[in-house]
Chains A and B, each alone.
Chain A
Amino acid sequence: MYKSLADAIRDAEASGRTLSATALALESKDQGRTVDDIRSALRRALEVMRSAVERGLEGDLRSASGLVGGDAALVAKSSAGPMSNTLFSDVLARALAVQEVNAAMGVIVAAPTAGGAGVLPAVLTGLARNRKIGDEAVIDALATAGLIGAVVAERASLSGAEGGCQAETGAAAGMAAGAATEMLGGTPSQVGHAVALTMQGLLGLVCDPLGGLVELPCVFRNATGAALALAGIEMALAGITFAIPVDEVIDVMGEIGRNMDVRYRETAGGGLAATPTGRRLAKERLVQIRTAPR
Chain B
Amino acid sequence: MVSLLDIIGPVMVGPSSSHTAGACRIGLLVRGLVGGTPEKARIELHGSFARTGEGHGTDKALAGGLLGFRPDDERLRDALDIMEREGLDYQFEKTTLADDSHPNTCRLTVERAGQTTTVIGSSLGAGRIRLSEIDGYPVELTGHLPTIVLVAADQPGSVARIAGILAEKRVNLATMRLTRKERGGDAFMVIECDEPPGDIAREAIDDLDWVKWVRTLDKVGG
Which A residues form the contact surface with B (CB < 8 A)? 1, 23-24, 27, 30-32, 38, 41-42, 44-45, 48, 63-65, 101-115, 117, 120, 142-143, 145-147, 149-150, 153-154, 157-162, 167, 175, 209, 211-215, 265-268, 286, 289-290, 294
Contact = CB atoms under 8 A, between A and B. Distances in A.
A149 B1 contact: no
A214 B56 contact: yes
Sorting the interface of chain B by its residue count into under 10, 10 to 19, 20 to 34 or 35 or more gives 35 or more
B135 interface: no
Contacts of A41: 5, 9
Nearest to A46: B8
B4 A23 contact: yes
Given A161-B103, A214-B14, A112 B126 contact: yes
B25 to A, nearest CB: 12
A115 B55 CA distance: 13
Given A64-B55, A105-B15, A150 B125 contact: no
Nearest to B79: A294
Given A212-B52, A213-B55, A286-B54, A114 B15 contact: yes
A214 to B, nearest CB: 4
13 contacts: A1-B1, A64-B57, A102-B14, A102-B15, A105-B13, A107-B12, A115-B15, A117-B17, A150-B3, A150-B4, A161-B125, A214-B14, A267-B51
Given A27-B3, A114-B16, 18 more contacts: A1-B3, A24-B4, A42-B5, A44-B11, A64-B57, A112-B8, A113-B126, A115-B15, A117-B17, A146-B4, A153-B126, A154-B2, A159-B103, A161-B18, A161-B103, A214-B16, A268-B51, A289-B54
Given A45-B11, A110-B9, A110-B21, A32 B194 contact: yes
Contacts of A108: 11-12, 14
A289 B126 CA distance: 25
B55 A212 contact: yes
A291 B56 CA distance: 16
A211 B16 CA distance: 14
Nearest to B60: A105
A147 B12 contact: no
Interface string B104-143: 1000000000000000000011110000000000000000
B207 interface: no
Contacts of B124: 159
Q: Can you list the 7 inter-chain pairs with the closest CB atoms, starting with the nearest? A: A212-B52, A159-B125, A102-B14, A146-B4, A149-B7, A213-B55, A214-B15
B125 A158 contact: yes
A142 B104 CA distance: 28
Given A45-B9, A159-B125, A211-B52, A113 B4 contact: no
Given A105-B76, A268-B52, A113 B14 contact: no
A212 B72 contact: no
A117 B18 CA distance: 13
Contact of A145 (B8, B15, B56, B104): B8
B78 interface: yes
B20 interface: yes
Interface in B89-104: 103-104
- Which of A44, A117, A213 has the most CB atoms of chain B within a 10 A radius of its CB? A213
Given A110-B10, A153-B126, A27 B4 contact: yes
Contacts of B56: 212-214
A114 B72 contact: no
A101 B80 CA distance: 21
B77 interface: yes
Contacts of A143: 4, 8
B52 A142 contact: no
A113 B17 contact: yes
Contacts of B5: 27, 31, 38, 41-42, 146
A48 B11 CA distance: 7
Contacts of A117: 14, 17
